[in-house]
Structure 1
Amino acid sequence: MNLDAKIEFPVIEFRSSDLERGTNGWHQLCKKVREACETFGCFEVVYDTILTEVREEMFRLMKDVG
C-alpha cells in the first residue's frame, strides 16, 4: 500500500453571480456539485467572501460528524 499517495478531489469556485437561482451560472454550478458528489462524495468550496466564523463552524461540525 502506498501511504504517500495524494488524495485529490474537485475544487469548485462559488461566485456570487452563480448563486442566483435560475441563472445559467446556477445550473452549471449545480451540475458541478452533483457530479463531484456522485463521483467523489465530496468537494472543496472556494468562495472568498465566506466569513471566517462560518468557515470555522463548518469545520467544527465536520469533525463532529467524522
Structure 2
Amino acid sequence: MDDQRLLAARQDIERRVAAFRNKQARLTRERETYYDRVIEQVRSTDWNEFVTPPPERKSSSR
C-alpha cells in the first residue's frame, strides 16, 4: 500500500515539474519575443538618437 502511495506521489511530482518546466520555457519565449519587438520599435523611431548619440558638432570659436 505504501509503495503505491509513494509511486503516485512521485508521478505527481514528476508531472508538476514537467508542467513547471514547460511554463518556464513558454515564458522565456514570450519574454524574448516581447524584447525583440520592443527593440525593433525603438530602432525604427527618432527616439533612437537618444540611445545612440549623434556625432559631436564642431563648436565655433569666438
TM-score, normalised via structure 1 length: 0.29
TM-score, normalised via structure 2 length: 0.31
Identify, as 1 or 2, the structure richer in helix: 2
Identify, as 1 or 2, the structure richer in strand: 1
Q: Give the structure with higher Rg (CA).
A: 2
